[in-house]
Amino acid sequence: MSEPGGARNAAPALTNPRHRETIMANGIISGTRVPRNFTLAQRLAFYSMPEPNSGCLLWLGHASGNIRWNALYGYLTWGGQSRGAHVWSWEEANGRPIPDGMEVCHKCDIGLCIEPTHLFLGDHGENMRDMAAKGRAGTQKLQVAQVLAIIKDPRKQTEIAAAYGISQAQVSKIKIRDAWKHVHGPAFRHAPLL
């Protein structure tokens, strides 16, 4: 933490107009680095922007995940450790590390949000129940029999994807046994692809 008590320092004003244009054009800050002497709070402020309608403080730095399922999360490396930007934000605001076995969850369900008032602690089970209660669980579209049929289906992956309402990338993952591993089991792991 950069300051005891979790007080947040305001980031310096963005004086470079090209930087502001990059944010407006791309929605994220790409390739922009903050000075090395910035505190954690200053980095969090520098790489974020308030969203006035929701009250979220959206992370504009490096992000990873799947945007289609609203599972895109910001990441920040600080002190040689890379973690979720929302995790750093919670710790900075609360002035203490996250207890073992706990996760930082979002009240707003926006993975890129780092607004401390939108974050709360919960164990993995609470996080999954919260996700299910808000209708974000159950993204699974296929049944086991359909997965087995996809593995054996000789059509082009794009045709299979259209038939099952999934992406071509998901078909590929199923066929190379990168997804639905529990269906294939060890006997199918190295079976020839059809």
Tens digit of each residue's pLDDT (9 = 90 or more) over 118-131: 999 999 888 878 87
Return the domain boundaries, the chain: 4-133, 144-189
Structure tokens at 189: 């792991």
Using one digit for the tens of pLDDT, what is the confidence trace for 12-49? Answer: 344 444 444 444 444 445 556 777 788 999 999 988 99
Written as one letter, the residue type at 128 is M
Using one digit for the tens of pLDDT, what is the confidence trace for 64-114? Answer: 876 555 568 888 988 889 999 999 999 999 999 999 999 999 998 888 899
Nearest to 93 by CA among 41, 148, 30: 41
Residues in Cβ contact with 23 at an 8 Å cutoff, skipping those fewer than 6 apart: 29, 49, 60
CA atoms lying within 13 Å on the CB side of residue 21: 3
Kind of pairing, strands 48-50 and 81-84? Answer: unpaired
In the sheet with 81-84, reading across from the earlier edge strand, the strands are 63-66, 71-78, 81-84
Question: 166 vs 86, which has greater pLDDT?
Answer: 86
**166 close to 179: Cβ distance less than 8 angstroms:** no
- In the chain, what is the straight-line distance between the N-terminal and C-terminal CA atoms, in Å? 54
**65 close to 121: Cβ distance less than 8 angstroms:** no
